[in-house]
Amino acid sequence: MSLEITIEKAKVSRISEFDPQNIGFGKLFTDHMFLCDYRDGEWQNARIVPYGNLSMSPATSSIHYGQSIFEGMKAYASLENDHDITTFRPMENAKRLNRSAHRMAMPSFPEEDFMNALETLLNLDRQWVPRIEGGALYIRPYMFATDDYIGVKPSDTYTFAIFCCPVGPYYNKALRVKVEKEYSRAAPGGVGFTKCSGNYASALHPTREAQKEGYDQILWTDPIEHKWVEETGTTNFFAVINNSIVTPSLTGTMLAGITRDSVITGLKHLGYTVDERPLSVDELIEEQQKGNLKELFITGTAATLMNLEGFGRDGEYYDVLTNGDTHISSEIKDFLDNMKLKKSEDPFGWVHTI
């Protein structure tokens, strides 16, 4: 049986604080949030309440032992249609949240309840979805352990929550990425395939070091040889080598991006072939030097689809964009963007209208 959601509406909306021409990313939150508690082995007290602070014990176990996972999704508003808002493959986020939960010894949150919570919340806060080119409502579903208990064991209690914030572009320019050879993001058998908070915390120091060297982001390599490309800190990775489109095959150390999957499926639909295979940094360098590396692009919900300017390894920088091309990345970006905004057909049934 699905959870019943109680709704307490905000007395005063904060929508007047929202300037669609000056959005930023992740700074202003919508009027409401969804909360649900896991107690005595079941989810209960599903509720939508005004967005606000949570109160918790200093011993809250997620702070100490890291049982904390999240998702990232977006809702879009068409510039042409006044009412509808859309989400894109939301069920995939519900499923990935539960894959993360399983690995982190946390309870799964039923997919049907995830969808119901999402729809109810978006319905209430639909006026917050920006109607400007490139804008979206970023949606953050997450779950964390709430036992006030010091000791390493899975918590008995959890909170699942969703809040939203209007956002503009995550990155404003083509990125320069550093091929990381010293630090590793994840190890075989570890938690790299999950969206657990610790994966992002452990990337902060290496990313800051790369930024001091003039890069925007890290291009993670495999943790054993630092030879094989994996993903960036926030996205998956694609290369166009001559006419062939290559993306690193999924290993247990990478996040299986929903955008990655949509790009692969979309490109195939548009008549391209996509090779999911191991891709070494040496191959990228060799092809760049022969003039065969035409496009590099990254994919993710927050970042959308962005070209990379180039990559650096061992103090050498390899520019790809300056003499490169962007026609494949532009074609697939437009294909997916138009689908999300209902400007074009949705051959896969990916767009969920609310």
Q: Which stretch binds ligand PLP (CB under 6 A): 78-86, 273-281, 299-307, 312-320?
A: 299-307
Residue with smaller CB distance to ligand PLP, 120 or 234? 234
Q: If DSSP codes are grouped into helix, strand and coil, which group holds residue 273? A: coil
Is residue 300 a contact point for ligand PLP (CB under 6 A)? yes
**Helix residue spans in the chain (DSSP H):** 61-65, 90-103, 111-124, 197-212, 258-269, 281-290, 327-340
Angle CA 291–303–22, to nearest 5: 125
The site for ligand PLP, by CB under 6 A, has a size of: 13
Q: Give the integer Cα–Cα distance in Å for 251 and 249.
A: 6
Q: How far is the CB of 246 from ligand PLP (least distance, A)?
A: 16
Residue with smaller CB distance to ligand PLP, 158 or 237? 237
Q: How far is the CB of 234 from ligand PLP (least distance, A)?
A: 5
Say if CB 258 and CB 96 are below 8 A apart: yes
Residue with smaller CB distance to ligand PLP, 48 or 305? 305
Is residue 295 a contact point for ligand PLP (CB under 6 A)? no
Q: Which stretch binds ligand PLP (CB under 6 A): 115-123, 170-178, 231-239, 329-337?
A: 231-239
> Which of 194, 301, 304, 329 touches ligand PLP (CB under 6 A)?
301
The pair of structure tokens assigned to 354 is: 């609310």
CA atoms within 13 A on the CB side of 266: 25
> Which of 176, 260, 294, 342 touches ligand PLP (CB under 6 A)?
260
Q: Which stretch binds ligand PLP (CB under 6 A): 121-129, 166-174, 251-259, 305-313?
A: 251-259
Residue with smaller CB distance to ligand PLP, 148 or 276? 276
Question: What Cα–Cα distance (Å) separates residue 155 from each residue in 41, 78, 159, 247, 283?
Answer: 11, 42, 11, 37, 45
Residue 44's φ and ψ, nearest 5 degrees, are -155, 170
Strands 236-241 and 293-300: antiparallel
Q: How far is the CB of 320 from ligand PLP (least distance, A)?
A: 20
Residue with smaller CB distance to ligand PLP, 33 or 258? 258
Q: How far is the CB of 301 from ligand PLP (least distance, A)?
A: 3
The pair of structure tokens assigned to 173 is: 């320019």
Q: Give the integer Cα–Cα distance in Å for 350 and 292.
A: 34
The pair of structure tokens assigned to 76 is: 């879009």
Say if CB 165 and CB 27 are below 8 A apart: yes
> Which of 155, 259, 307, 329 touches ligand PLP (CB under 6 A)?
259
Is residue 235 a contact point for ligand PLP (CB under 6 A)? yes
Is residue 236 a contact point for ligand PLP (CB under 6 A)? yes
Is residue 255 a contact point for ligand PLP (CB under 6 A)? yes
Give me the 161-190 binding string for ligand PLP, x by CB under 6 A, dash otherwise.
------------------------------
First to last CA, the chain: 22
Q: How far is the CB of 184 from ligand PLP (least distance, A)?
A: 13
Is residue 207 a contact point for ligand PLP (CB under 6 A)? no
Q: Give the integer Cα–Cα distance in Å for 88 and 73.
A: 8
Say if CB 104 and CB 196 are below 8 A apart: yes
Site for ligand PLP in 72-111 (CB under 6 A): 72
Burial of 208 from C-beta contacts in 10 A (0-12 / 13-18 / 19+): exposed
Residue with smaller CB distance to ligand PLP, 98 or 259? 259
Is residue 257 a contact point for ligand PLP (CB under 6 A)? yes
Residues forming the site for ligand PLP (CB under 6 A): 72, 231, 234-236, 255, 257-260, 299-301
